[in-house]
């Protein structure tokens, strides 16, 4: 294997985290929704009710959203990235962090 190349398993770890993480119980397809406020509300609900998270609810919800945006990277549709960035603002409003 060439230096710097990754095994198939190591390239898929982020998908595994997104789908199998027990820190937050995410609604199916939450990151594909077109409404930033709906995304933020869903993440807030998941974070607030989670018994497995290690950080405060706001931090857990924001971390999951940022994690998804970063892991999707250049494969994330430009319009969907804009929606997810707006969801970050909505999440801040929901937690009175603005």
Where are the chain's structural domains?
A: 28-94
pLDDT of residue 45: 94
The Cα–Cα gap between 96 and 87 comes to 14
What pLDDT score does 9 carry?
57
Q: Given this model, what pLDDT does residue 48 score?
A: 93
SS3 26: coil
Helices 36-49 & 78-94, crossing angle to 10 degrees? 50
What would the pLDDT profile of 51-81 be if each residue is shown by its tens digit? 888 889 999 999 999 999 998 888 899 999 9
Q: What's the predicted TM-score (pTM) here?
A: 0.78
Give 20-46 pLDDT, tens digit per residue: 555 678 888 999 999 999 999 999 999
Say which residues have a Cβ less than 8 Å from residue 77's Cβ, sequence separation at least 6: none
């Amino acid at each position: 294997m060439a230096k710097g190349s990754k095994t198939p398993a190591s390239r898929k770890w982020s998908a595994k985290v997104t789908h199998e993480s027990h820190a937050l119980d995410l609604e199916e397809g939450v990151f594909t929704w077109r409404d930033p406020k709906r995304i933020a509300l869903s993440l807030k609900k998941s974070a607030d009710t989670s018994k497995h998270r290690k950080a405060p609810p706001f931090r857990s919800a924001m971390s999951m959203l940022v994690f998804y945006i970063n892991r999707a990277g250049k494969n994330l549709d430009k319009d969907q990235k804009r929606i997810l960035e707006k969801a970050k603002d909505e999440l801040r409003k929901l937690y009175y962090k603005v």
